[in-house]
Structure 1
Amino acid sequence: MFDKKLKTYQQIIEQMADGVCLVTLDGKVACWNGGAEAITGWAPHDVLGKSCCDVMVRFEDEEGNALCDLIPSFIATNKPGQRNLFLKLRDGSRALVEGSISPMFRDGKPEGIIITFRNILQFTALRPFQLKTQKLERLIPICGWCKKIRHDDETWEQLEAYLAEQGFGDFTHSICPVCAEKIFSKRIYLESYQNVCKAISTSLSVEEVLNLIVTHVVRVMNMKASLVRLLNREKNQLEIAAHCGLSESYVNKGPVEYDRSIDDALAGKPVSIYDITEDRSSKYRKEAEKEGIRTILSIPLRFKDEVIGVLRMYTAEPLAYSDEDLKFLAAIAEQAAIAIMNARHFEKSVSREREYLDIFKAVTKTISSTLNFKEVLNTVVRMIPAVMRLKAATIRLLDDTGQKLVLEASHGLSEQYLRRGPVDTEENIREALNEKPVAIYDVITDKRITYKKETEAEGIKSVLALPIIAKGKVIGVLRLLTNVHRTFSQDEIDFTMALAEQCGIAIENARMYEKLHSANTD
């Protein structure tokens, strides 16, 4: 009887027009009905067992947050909710859907969340036209800049003249105290903004940029203290990056994971706690009270569409921030995020270039230390995968006829794969022999790979084929292979081309030495 009911429920879910998806606590898709397939184009076998953050499905809310990251909050509240979500369709486009998300419990224990969704793009597309029609029916068009009124005949008239014609009397002009204060405040904001931006843009050191941010925010905004936490996505924690005006005991009070203001800030919203001493839900309320903190403002550090951390500001007295204050501080935080990412990029570039130089020196020193032909080849195929974190490498050299490639050295590959057959006709090899580096992201789908079955069985995902050149001639091909999909950057291609060129010189030197040695022996 139970099995019959279960099958009936399964049939009902399968035949629903709405998409139904069950996501387990670890973010894996456990159910995917026919409605979900019809909306997205992804069949159950495409998504079952995959992460809901996977590139194929990728549930995201309107803020760009992956739904996988929000599972704990739905479980914690134990309440259903509705959100507009974006899904990646099979054809590569994105669809806006209306999602209903409900936590799922069995015997009192959480098992995941159930998502039902329907495509609402066709309805949202009509909404702007509906709003526009409604506004035209009930509003008088006024220029937002000069405040003129637009008549039905498309002519424009001064607001004062229009009102006078309507019998509202004559008008004089002055400035109200509120506007006067706004103009003065905007001037102060502009000067403060310029000072902060100028300060944080003077350095390309991440640590120095972070310290400049917190110190100048405290000074310019007359705060008690300021702190920057950067998001560590692997640990799901906000880690302290810099602070000013706070004691070490407060700074090191404990990890920040789930906090209402932090959660909202990471969702892209500035959040102010007016008086932390009255906020019973705050995890570190007692520590804040001891530190003399009353108001805490959390502003997201956003770079493009990604929130990279939180800028927090602290006051010694309760402070209600105005909308103008929040806009100004959001602009400061945006510039701070840009400065942080620029400094990170610079340090990463310098570090990568230094690493490339060290690797280049190590490889060239090693292959130049011997004139034994086989030893040079084996050193190259062994050392390059180690320093570049690759699966394997092979060197094939042209024979005396210059028509056939002969495998001379390999590392990290099985004998079965190496004996798969001739590679001279493979398109990636032919391109490399024409002095062109060839980067292949997916060997299974790329037509330039011939032995797809053997390549897949070997666990190879990506390939970089490079010509080995000596004395202006191509003498062979160096192939670098990975066991994970990898997009080789232009810097990596240029670097490995330089390595291949050094290999060509070392190979040619070793060949000449062996010929001379053989001639002298004879």
Structure 2
Amino acid sequence: MQDMQALFPADIDPNIADGKSIMETVVMSMAEGVVVQAQAGEILACNPSAERILGLSADQMKGLTSMDSNWRAVRDDGSPFPGKAHPSMITLETGDSCSDVIMGVHRPDYSLVWILVNSRPLGGETGSKPKAVVSTFTEITQLRRVREERERLADKLQRALTTALSGYIPICASCKKIRDSKSDWIELEQFINIQTGADFTHTMCPGCITDLYPELGREED
């Protein structure tokens, strides 16, 4: 199954046999997962990256369809993603390609992996249903975790600022330190960090650079 024969016609022209071999090598070495499904939806072939990403061997995937409940697929918002709405099934039904569809799939160990899926039709006459479909997908689990953490921090910051601004915050008119709930005077950055968990990067705005280092401005002129 792993040889991806489903992607290449059995009666391929001998003159391009070398090209077929090259393409098989490319597909098998891709970092993206590749899965080929027949017209009825059953999986015919996959590459090693698909096995790694989905947590299933090629033999375990063979014959499965998007309708199999074991996928326990979810949409980007966490709602159920029914098999008939999967990109591959849409392509098999309509002949249209699907691009950049976010899907969550549960592995056999119950971990949730997020993938970005594209599907393309294989074979079939124009205007008719394709004979098969090839889906490629990239794992985006880590990227999604980073996004969710960023959104969590932004929400926490917003809630903390909203709470703080609903009352008075004692601030020194001279050094701009904040008096916290323990009556300790702390730096503004430290106060925000305690309230939100946010860290700061330090740079300088153009105005301060000009004021503090006027020679830099003259050099640019």
| CA deviation vs aligned residue, 1:149-173 (integer Å, no higher than 9, x gap) | 4735456xxxxxxxxxxxxxxxxxx
Q: Which amino acid aligns with 1:66?
A: P
Q: Which amino acid aligns with 1:79?
A: S
TM score, norm. by length of structure 2 = 0.56
Distance 1:25 1:154 in 2: 66
Shift of 1:44: 0.9
Match among 124, 127, 139 for residue 119 of structure 1: 139
Distance 2:46 2:66 in 1: 11
Tell me the secondary structure at the aligned position of residue 20 of structure 2: helix
Match among 80, 88, 96 for residue 98 of structure 2: 80
Distance 2:112 2:21 in 1: 33
Identity %: 14
Tell me the secondary structure at the aligned position of residue 27 of structure 1: coil
Match among 49, 56, 78 for residue 35 of structure 1: 49
Where do residues 72-111 of structure 1 align in structure 2 (5 Å cutoff)?
73-74=90-91, 75-76=93-94, 78-108=96-126, 109=128, 110-111=130-131
Distance 2:17 2:105 in 1: 33
2:40 corresponds to:
26
Distance 1:135 1:56 in 2: 34
Whether 1:67 and 2:86 are equivalent positions in the alignment is no
1:148 corresponds to:
166
Tell me the secondary structure at the aligned position of residue 83 of structure 1: strand
Instruction: Note closer, same or farther for the CA distance 1:132–1:58 as it changes in structure 2 (3 Å cut).
Output: closer
| CA deviation vs aligned residue, 1:271-321 (integer Å, no higher than 9, x gap) | xxxxxxxxxxxxxxxxxxxxxxxxxxxxxxxxxxxxxxxxxxxxxxxxxxx
Distance 1:149 1:142 in 2: 9
Q: Which amino acid aligns with 2:82?
A: A
8 Å Cα contact 1:53/1:59 also seen in 2: no
Whether 1:51 and 2:71 are equivalent positions in the alignment is no
Match among 23, 38, 60 for residue 9 of structure 1: 23
Q: Which amino acid aligns with 1:17?
A: A
Tell me the secondary structure at the aligned position of residue 53 of structure 1: coil
Distance 1:142 1:8 in 2: 59
1:129 corresponds to:
149
Shift of 1:133: 4.9
1:184 corresponds to:
none
8 Å Cα contact 1:99/1:117 also seen in 2: yes
Shift of 1:135: 6.4
Distance 1:72 1:39 in 2: 20
8 Å Cα contact 1:78/1:103 also seen in 2: yes
Q: Which amino acid aligns with 1:30?
A: L
Aligned length: 153
Aligned-residue Cα RMSD (Å) equals: 3.2
Q: Which amino acid aligns with 1:126?
A: V
Shift of 1:13: 0.9
Q: Which amino acid aligns with 1:37?
A: E
Distance 2:39 2:98 in 1: 16
Tell me the secondary structure at the aligned position of residue 125 of structure 1: helix
8 Å Cα contact 1:28/1:50 also seen in 2: yes
Unpaired runs of at least 5, structure 2: 1-14, 170-177, 182-221
| CA deviation vs aligned residue, 1:366-422 (integer Å, no higher than 9, x gap) | xxxxxxxxxxxxxxxxxxxxxxxxxxxxxxxxxxxxxxxxxxxxxxxxxxxxxxxxx
Shift of 1:34: 0.4
Distance 2:109 2:48 in 1: 17
Distance 1:140 1:89 in 2: 37
Q: Which amino acid aligns with 1:113?
A: V
Where do residues 455-466 of structure 1 align in structure 2 (5 Å cutoff)?
none
Which has the bigger relative contact order, CA under 8 A and spacing at least 6? 2
Where do residues 157-196 of structure 1 align in structure 2 (5 Å cutoff)?
none
Distance 1:80 1:138 in 2: 36
Shift of 1:42: 1.0
2:219 corresponds to:
none
Distance 2:140 2:25 in 1: 25
8 Å Cα contact 2:68/2:83 also seen in 1: no
8 Å Cα contact 2:114/2:140 also seen in 1: yes
8 Å Cα contact 2:66/2:89 also seen in 1: no
Shift of 1:106: 3.7
Instruction: Note closer, same or farther for the CA distance 1:47–1:124 as it changes in structure 2 (3 Å cut).
Output: same
Unpaired runs of at least 5, structure 1: 156-522
